[in-house]
Amino acid sequence: MCFKHGLRSISSSLLASILIAMALALSACGSSEKKIKMATAEEDKSIVLSANGVGPINATTSFNMHQMTLAFNDFNVVEELNYHAGSPFPVIRISEGVKTLMTIIPDGSQQNIFSIIIEDNLIINSLGHHLGTNYSEIYAQGQDEDCQAGADDMSGKVLCYAPKTPNILYIFNGNRSGESGVVPSADILQGWGLESIIWRPK
């Protein structure tokens, strides 16, 4: 009887040890998974474009170098001079390495944001259209789109409002046979690709 009781005691002790070891292992596993999830969240640099804004930028955001540096501290933020009709004006360029992600353009007072040009697919379009998408994949055949021919820096391109989003413009480029200041026929536009996107405050 004593021998059997001893076996029971050893078995209970062994079982307790196994349960403790399993609990510690599960705890360590959970801790590792938590660390992996935290690391993934920290590495996520996604910037989302929507009608309301671009990442942290919205209609109330000022054109301010310091503010942009804080908002996009994972990227390179540089203020540069551009020229229009010989007159200089500042722009803020957000880039990752040598890739320009977007260019922020001020209004006439240079206090507010007039528009943002999206130039890389690292910025996720909430409407689902990425740069490089064909016109035909965005607009239905025969759909009457509100498009206009580009001018100045946009010469030779076509600007169309994004579907049901009047403050987002899609810039298309492609082969043409007609004049550069005229919107090509729908048949030609079908094969043009989405080159860049312009967001403007509502």
What is the structure's pLDDT at 54? 97
Q: Is residue 19 part of a domain?
A: yes
Reading the chain (202 residues) residue by residue, the pLDDT tens digits are 444 444 344 455 554 555 455 555 545 545 555 544 444 444 567 899 999 999 999 999 999 999 999 999 999 999 999 987 788 999 999 999 999 999 999 999 999 999 999 999 999 999 999 999 999 999 976 565 689 999 888 999 999 999 999 999 999 999 876 677 888 888 889 999 999 999 999 8
Q: Is residue 177 part of a domain?
A: no
State the chain's maximal CA–CA distance in angstroms: 105
Q: Is residue 103 part of a domain?
A: no
Q: Is residue 180 part of a domain?
A: no
Q: Is residue 120 part of a domain?
A: no
| Residue 92: strand, helix, or coil | strand
What is the structure's pLDDT at 175? 87
What is the structure's pLDDT at 20? 52
Q: Is residue 90 part of a domain?
A: no
User: How many folded domains does the chain comprise?
Assistant: 1
Q: Is residue 57 part of a domain?
A: no
Long-range CB contacts (< 8 A, 24+ apart) of 92-100?
92/63, 92/65, 92/68, 94/68, 96/45, 96/120, 96/122
Alpha carbon 157 to its chain's center: 23
What is the structure's pLDDT at 5? 47
Domain that holds residue 7: 1-44
Task: Using DSSP bridges, classify how beta strands 147-149 and 158-162 pair: parallel, antiparallel or unpaired.
Answer: antiparallel
6's tokens: 């001893």
Q: Is residue 36 part of a domain?
A: yes
| Residue 106: strand, helix, or coil | strand
